[in-house]
Structure 1
Amino acid sequence: MTEPVIELSGVSRRYDEGPPALDDVSLTVHAGESVAVLGPSGSGKSTMLNVIAGLDRPTSGAVTVGGVRVDRLGEAGSARYRRATVGMVFQFFNLLDDLTVIDNVLLPAEVAGMARGDARRRAAELLDALGVARHARANPGRLSGGERQRVAVARALMNRPALLLADEPTGALDTASGEDVKALFQELHADGQTIVTVTHDLTLAQSCATRTIRIVDGRIAADVRTAAAR
């Protein structure tokens, strides 16, 4: 078994006096796994993703990613951790429409201080590998939903993160574009990328995940290896 990338130990997150968004969750994800997190709205899926990303802090428990105790990081440390370790893909792409496609992809490298020549070579390689190189000089608003999500994935992979986190990556797409993104996630997993995807899309989980976790009321209700497992 490969080394763990993610280790959650007794993680809970409360926002008020009501039921916890996460309730004593323990989870280990190893390098190369593709994990789909399913559950109804309000079950705690996105909270778990945000805790792993260092965007939210647990009320109790330990969050370790790539050997880093994420729950102990301050604001600046969390930002450095995300730059170095995590790539994030969102439902609505979060691309900047006043920048070209390649400039959107270059943003994480610029923040991380990567040499400009190295960054541009990396961005060009990613856009080519993801099938959107012809759009490098276009603005994202001119692309289809599937193409914009491919650009968003290129941006997320720019700094070679150990972990790719995706929050409803097919949620805003039509059927054809959704199929395009599913194929992309299959390719990323085949290349060894560790992926955690929060989704309502059962077909995405079935086609792309080696493991499916179901969360109900902030707790893990099921953790199943799937037929897609290598």
Structure 2
Amino acid sequence: MTLPVIELSRVGRRYDDGPPALHAASLTVRRGEAVAILGPSGSGKSTLLNLIAGLDRPDTGTVTVDGVRVDRLGEAASARYRRSKIGMVFQFFNLLDDLTVTDNVVLPARLTGTARGEGDRRAAELLQLLGMERHARAYPGRLSGGERQRVAVARALMNRPALLLADEPTGALDTAAGQDVSRLLTDLNAEGQTLVVVTHDLALAHSCTNRTVHITDGRITQDVRSPAVAPGAVR
């Protein structure tokens, strides 16, 4: 049995006086799994992702990621946790347009105090791995949507995170670019990267994950594993 990367135990979160955004949610994700979080808008998907990322705190329950009790962290500790444990990929890339591709990718290493030479070597390695080395000196505005998402994935992997979180990673892409990103996520998971993808896209969920977790009205209503795919090895 591989050790859990994510352990959520009866997690609840309510905003203002509305109904619970998340209600008594329990979830375990083991190292090397690729999990899709599915549900309609307002179901609690983003709340779940924010709790795992330490961007929000639960009202009840516990959140543990790679041995860290995320629900107990203060603001500064949460920022350090995200830099060291989490890689995040967003729908709209969140790249800095005034930085080159290399500088965007290496930014997380700068924030953790990694030596410049070491960070540059890691960035070059990732850009080559993702087929983006020829764009190393380009600026994001000159890239296609699919290329920008590849740069965003490289940036997310910069500090060798225990967990890669992807929030609607193909939502701003055309079909061909979306399929390209889906294959990229599949390849990363095959190499052992633990992956959680929040998406409305069933095709993406089925193509690049081996488990689907459905959320409805803040409750986990279904958790289905693919019997054909076992969790990968440690990255």
What displacement does 1:6 show?
0.3
Provide TM-score, normalisation by structure 2. 0.97
**Residue in 2 aligned with 1:81?**
81
**Matched residue of 1:161: which SS?**
coil
The aligned residue for residue 98 of structure 1 is 98
Partner of 1:60: 60
Q: Which runs of 5+ in 1 are unaligned?
A: none
**Contact 1:208/1:228 (<8 A) preserved:** no
Residue number in structure 1 paired with 2:112? 112
CA separation of 1:139/1:227 partners in 2, compared to 1, >3 Å: closer, same or farther?
Answer: farther
1:229 Cα shift? 2.1
Amino acid at match of 2:122: R
Checking the alignment, whether the CA contact within 8 Å between 1:209 and 1:228 is kept in structure 2 is no
Residue of structure 2 equivalent to 1:171: 171
**For 1:171-210, what aligned pairs fall within 5 Å after superposition?**
171-210=171-210
Whole-Å separation in 1 of the counterparts to 2:121 and 2:53: 27
Task: Kindly indicate whether the alpha-carbon contact (under 8 Å) linking 1:11 and 1:24 is maintained by their aligned counterparts in 2.
Answer: yes
Q: Within 1, Cα distance between the matches of 2:138 and 2:18?
A: 47
2:143 matched residue in structure 1: 143
Shift of 1:65: 0.4
TM-score in terms of structure 1 length: 0.99
Which residue does the alignment assign to 1:215?
215
Distance 1:43 1:226 in 2: 23
Query: 1:205: how far off?
Result: 0.6
Give the 3-state SS of the residue equivalent to 2:84 in structure 1: helix
CA deviation after TM superposition for structure 1 residue 61, in Å = 0.6
> Aligned Cα RMSD in Å?
0.8
Counterpart amino acid of residue 59 in structure 1: D
Structure 1 residue 17, shift from structure 2 partner: 1.2
Q: Which amino acid aligns with 2:75?
A: E
- Preserved CA contact (<8 Å) 1:52 1:63: yes
| Identical counterparts, % of pairs | 74
Q: Tell me the equivalent position of 2:9.
A: 9
Structure 1: which amino acid aligns with 2:173?
L
Q: State the Cα distance separating 1:18 from its structure 2 match.
A: 1.4
Q: d(CA) in 2 for partners of 1:108 and 1:208?
A: 25
Aligned equivalents of 1:214 and 1:224: distance in 2?
9
Give the match for residue 130 of structure 2: 130
Write the deviation string for residues 109-133 of structure 1: whole angstroms up to 9, x where unpaired.
0000001111000000000000111
Gaps of 5+ in 2: 231-235
**Distance of 2:163 and 2:198 partners within structure 1:** 14
Report the number of matched residues: 230
CA drift of 1:154 comes to: 0.2
What is the CA-CA distance between 1:226 and the residue it aligns to?
A: 2.4
